[in-house]
Amino acid sequence: MKLLAMVVLFACAMRAEWKAGAAKVPITPDESIWLAGYAARTKPSEGVRQAIYAKALAFEDAAGRKSVVVTLDLVSIRPLTADVVARHVREKHGIARERILFNVSHTHSAPIVGDVSSYQSRMGSYFDKQREVIARYTAALPGKINAAVDQAIAALEPATLHFEQGFAGFAVNRRRVGRRELPGPVDHDVPVLAVRAPSGDLRAVLFGYACHNTVLGDYEVNGDYAGYAQAALEARHPGAVALFVEGAGADSNPLPRRSVELAARYGATLADAVDEVLKAKMKPVGDGLRAVYETVEVKFESAPPESELEKQLSDKDEYVRQHAQRMLFLKKRDGRIPDTYPYPVQAWRFGSEMTLLALGGELVVDYSLRFKEKYGWDKLWVAGYSNDVFGYVPSLRVWKEGGYEGGGAFQFTSFPGRFRESVDSIVTAKVDEVMNSLR
């Protein structure tokens, strides 16, 4: 009996080690705005199907170290926004850069943020007006994210953390669409971090999936399947905030797709997968959150010489013409076209039970499977689309196969060419270094 009392006391003491708090702030546009993600759209948004959010989940460990995850129903986040929020969080809360983690769901039904130049010709006569609308939206965004972070930190209360992974099966390797002979790996894991009050009530749930949020592609603002999953979980668990983390699923699409019914159905499937994990036995997460954030330079193939770019200005392919325009603009403005990019690698180790590895860009699934095999399927959570979403990051296999994720997509960016073959080994070496530093 005495032993049982001691065990209970010890368990209570364990429970008091973490504090956590969560908050959400809507970032739904209040005017018609161009939606990001698809080159084929011909007009700005025509309505709102579903509110979109900036959400924040703050942790404080027993040593008093605070850390915040920010999740956004947006297609991308760039330093333009992340740096402003990181500065606010440092100045107001004394939280260093490695302890704030940004992830976007990559919903293709949310506004463009930041640079509109690559959309200019697609927007046509809408461009002048939309440039102003998007500038307004972009300028207001950091304040809304800051508010979510401030509220999450203000809500810090004693909490328990538990981690486990489930499964959901609707992600399909999209490179096999049209090239059925390709191997087509997928990552169907559904990582779940449950944040509960000492009473056991669910206060927040951080969950992930590795698949493009591209069920829908029309003119209504919404969070796609991840938006429906978050809404379903919040409806099923009143008072809890559900935060979605996009995994390394750059080569996965939800298939079949293109109906609201399917977006809602995949959202419900993902919410069911999360609930199945929440109802089952989950591993308690011990105290202490260690964090690392570093960048490593990845290299691009060289841009064509200026004479070649000049020639491309009259290419029959619209996208070749636009890319050449952007390269010549950079050359004129900066005197050079960049040949490397600082790739962000962030890792958070929670106790000894779980590590959240958050990598930049649109990361293909090979990286997720490789790192989980190396560092433990039950202990590693691999997120892509974190901190800086600048374009695709192919593995060596995908780079060799070519195609859109292998290099073709660079045409839609302000980068000179696809990454060099070394991108895989450079990213992998940096991840190994960061993971080892947390051991």
Query: Pairing between strand 362-363 and 392-393?
Result: parallel
Which residues sit opposite 165 in a β-bridge? 191
CB of 113 to Zn ion, least distance (A): 15
CB of 47 to Zn ion, least distance (A): 23
Say if CB 295 and CB 343 are below 8 A apart: yes
H or E stretch at 241: strand 241-246
Give the pair of three-digit tokens for residue 220: 């209504």
User: Closest CB to Zn ion among 153 and 221?
Assistant: 221
Which of positions 185-214 make contact with Zn ion (CB under 5 A)? none
Peptide bond into 142 cis (omega under 30): no
Which residues sit opposite 35 in a β-bridge? 111
Cα(135)–Cα(112) distance, rounded to whole angstroms?
9
What are residue 292's phi and psi, to 5 degrees? -135, 140
CB of 108 to Zn ion, least distance (A): 8
Residue bearing tokens 């050079």 = 336
User: Closest CB to Zn ion among 351 and 407?
Assistant: 407
Cα(371)–Cα(112) distance, rounded to whole angstroms?
31
User: Closest CB to Zn ion among 164 and 362?
Assistant: 362
Q: What x-and-dash track marks residues 306-345 binding Zn ion by CB under 5 A?
A: ----------------------------------------
Q: What x-and-dash track marks residues 274-313 binding Zn ion by CB under 5 A?
A: ----------------------------------------
CB of 167 to Zn ion, least distance (A): 23
CB of 107 to Zn ion, least distance (A): 10
Residues contacting 91, CB < 8 A, separation 6+: none
User: Closest CB to Zn ion among 362 and 424?
Assistant: 362
User: Closest CB to Zn ion among 212 and 323?
Assistant: 212
Q: What x-and-dash track marks residues 343-382 binding Zn ion by CB under 5 A?
A: -------------------x--------------------
User: Closest CB to Zn ion among 362 and 366?
Assistant: 362
- Residue closest to 239 by CA, chosen among 284, 282, 191, 205: 205
Count of positions on this chain that bind Zn ion (CB under 5 A): 1
CB of 213 to Zn ion, least distance (A): 9
Residue in the shown chain whose Cβ atom is closest to Zn ion? 362
CB of 222 to Zn ion, least distance (A): 16
| Secondary-structure percent of the chain, ordered helix, strand, coil, rounded to 5 | 40, 25, 35
One-letter-per-residue 3-state SS of 66-92: EEEEEEECCCCCCHHHHHHHHHHHHHH
User: Closest CB to Zn ion among 224 and 362?
Assistant: 362
The residues of the shown chain that bind Zn ion, judged by CB under 5 A, are 362
